[in-house]
């Protein structure tokens, strides 16, 4: 699959490349695995002088041996004195080389130094502060463990705090980018865009797996994702166990409950019979796996809130793969596919709501987009979009089947909501699969 989108990030990164010619710059690319951070960094340096250093899980001395070989290959005239066994000396050498020739160094899986030798960060900080003004090195630190990258660069007590000139949080592809990719593969069915949104969450790696295997229809996607040797089966574990560490069991239990619709703190606690407030906070703040959401007009301190996955793929994985791990172990994949087909409409309904939220956000016409409900989940409304400057309000019901939408009922449920927006122009809408094509074009 060719390189798509990321123009905003490339523009920002290219500015740092130019600025580094007058003094070193540092950028951070973070975001969970499979969102294309490495591909983005390599796209940036095409045709530019650069080094790519991958921090593998091995002894520091062995890493440095590899890095020095890369440096010698790219800068054959640079003398390397002695046997360099510490990254401190490698980084110092890079800074010295850049005083004579500007270039970019990509340090991939930068957070792994935390396990190899955490003093590397304070050593980089000292060298950076002493040499930044005189050197011309553009450093890009790429990291996949969100909690560690956040700690390393944004923890106020950490040595590299405030050293990065820009921190880019790389996110999955937008709905419209996914639609563009499918069009390039001659897929024009709007339903395929939703299926890709549901199964991949917009992750470039997962989209690439599906398109390269010419998997475009729901049936084919399901058979590919849920099959022997599928790269998706262990993906949730691969993404999160290293993040969560030894407490991953508790986190996984919470996430499994959220995936089946237990979205309130009190109901999660009732089922697990323990206080999960701290875990929920860390899942949101440190790991960026879940997010809070409230009624669109809720006050900042309102306790009327729910939790949901920040990523569609993980929601799907916990709901159908992790929850049916016994069937995975016995390779009873047809059983899992049957469960997905049975529960599809129930599961896909809320996903379709978020799908339309995303599409409305991508129009750039609204400053607030969300859902609405009243106490005890009464009068729930799927989509509310506001433009406070133009005083416009869109209130919509979202259903898989257009025939099940009742605008009169929607208006009745909205009476309390619209009472606070008497001077707004209100548009009532019913949204279903039939409207996807109109909104993505």
Residues 262-286 have a mean pLDDT of 92
Contact 109, 149 (CB under 8 A): no
Question: Could you tell me the residue ranges of all domains in the chain?
Answer: 7-169, 175-225, 361-440
What's the rounded mean pLDDT across residues 37-62? 95
Q: What is the pLDDT of residue 425?
A: 96
3-state SS assignment for residue 76: coil
Its CATH architecture, for the domain 7-169, is 3-Layer(aba) Sandwich (3.40)
190: which strand partners?
A: none
Q: What is the pLDDT of residue 299?
A: 81
Residues in the chain: 441
Angle at 359 between CA 394 and CA 35, to 5 degrees: 150
Mean pLDDT score of the chain, rounded to an integer? 93
**Residue range 174-202: average pLDDT?**
93
- Residue 439 φ then ψ, to 5°: -85, -20
pLDDT at 238: 86
Angle between helical axes of 218-225 and 190-200 (0-180°, round to 10): 20
**What distance in Å separates the CA atoms of residue 85 and residue 59, rounded to the nearest whole number?**
10
Q: Which CATH number fits domain 361-440: 1.10.10, 3.40.1350, 2.130.10, 3.40.50?
A: 3.40.1350
pLDDT at 134: 95
The single residue listed with the structure tokens 């499994």 is 256
* pLDDT for the residue numbered 320: 96
| Percentages of the chain per state (helix, strand, coil), in multiples of 5 | 50, 15, 35
The whole model's pTM is what?
Answer: 0.87
User: What is the band of 112 on the pLDDT scale with cuts at 50, 70, 90?
Assistant: very high
- Model pLDDT, residue 433: 87
Instruction: Please compute the mean of the pLDDT values over residues 327-350 and round it to a whole number.
Output: 95
> What is residue 184's predicted lDDT score, i.e. its pLDDT?
93
CA 344 to chain centre: 24
Mean pLDDT (whole number) for 106-114? 95
Q: How many Å apart are CA 131 and CA 88, to the nearest integer?
A: 13
pLDDT tens-digit map of 247-257: 899 999 999 99
Q: Is the confidence at residue 51, as pLDDT, over 80? A: yes
pLDDT at 169 over 80: yes
Does 287 have pLDDT greater than 90? no
432 close to 402: Cβ distance less than 8 angstroms? yes
DSSP string, 232-290: TTTHHHHHHHHHHGGGHHHHHHHHHHHHTT--SHHHHHHHHTS--HHHHHHHHHTS-SE
């Amino acid at each position: 699959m060719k390189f798509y989108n990321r123009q905003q990030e490339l523009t920002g990164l290219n500015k740092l490349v130019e600025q580094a010619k007058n003094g070193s710059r540092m950028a951070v690319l973070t975001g969970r695995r499979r969102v294309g951070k490495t591909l983005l960094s390599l796209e940036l340096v095409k045709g530019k002088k650069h080094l790519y250093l991958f921090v593998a899980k091995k002894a520091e001395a062995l890493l440095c041996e590899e890095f020095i070989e890369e440096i010698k290959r790219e800068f054959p005239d640079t003398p390397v004195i002695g046997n360099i066994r510490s990254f401190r000396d490698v980084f110092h050498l890079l800074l010295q080389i850049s005083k004579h020739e500007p270039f970019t160094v990509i340090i991939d899986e930068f957070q792994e130094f935390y396990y190899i030798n955490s003093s590397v960060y304070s050593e980089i900080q000292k060298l950076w502060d002493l040499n930044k003004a005189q050197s011309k090195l553009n450093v890009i630190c790429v990291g996949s463990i969100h909690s560690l990258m956040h700690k390393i660069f944004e923890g106020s007590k950490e040595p590299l705090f405030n050293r990065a000139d820009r921190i880019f949080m790389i996110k999955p592809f937008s709905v419209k980018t996914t639609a563009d990719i499918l069009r390039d593969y001659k897929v024009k069915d709007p339903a395929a865009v939703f299926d890709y949104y549901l199964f991949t969450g917009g992750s470039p790696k997962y989209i690439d797996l599906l398109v390269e295997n010419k998997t475009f229809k729901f049936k084919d996607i399901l058979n590919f994702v849920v099959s022997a040797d599928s790269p998706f089966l262990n993906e949730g574990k691969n993404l999160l166990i290293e993040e969560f560490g030894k407490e991953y069991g508790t986190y996984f239990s919470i996430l499994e409950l959220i995936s089946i619709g237990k979205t309130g703190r009190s109901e999660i606690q009732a089922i697990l019979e323990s206080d999960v407030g701290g875990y929920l906070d860390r899942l949101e703040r440190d790991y960026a796996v879940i997010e809070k959401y409230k009624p669109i007009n809720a006050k900042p301190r309102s306790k009327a809130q729910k939790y949901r996955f920040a990523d569609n793929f993980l929601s799907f994985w916990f709901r159908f793969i992790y929850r049916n791990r016994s069937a995975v172990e016995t390779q009873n994949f047809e059983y899992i596919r049957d469960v997905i087909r049975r529960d599809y409409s129930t599961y896909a309904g809320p996903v379709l709501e978020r799908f339309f939220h995303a599409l409305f956000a991508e129009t750039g016409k609204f400053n607030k987009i969300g859902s609405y409900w009243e106490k005890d989940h009464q009068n729930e409304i799927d989509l509310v979009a506001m433009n406070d400057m133009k005083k416009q309000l869109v209130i919509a019901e979202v259903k898989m089947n257009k025939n099940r939408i009742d605008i009169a009922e929607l208006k009745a449920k909205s009476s309390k909501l619209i009472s606070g927006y008497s001077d707004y122009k209100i548009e009532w809408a019913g949204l279903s699969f039939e409207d996807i094509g109109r909104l993505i074009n």
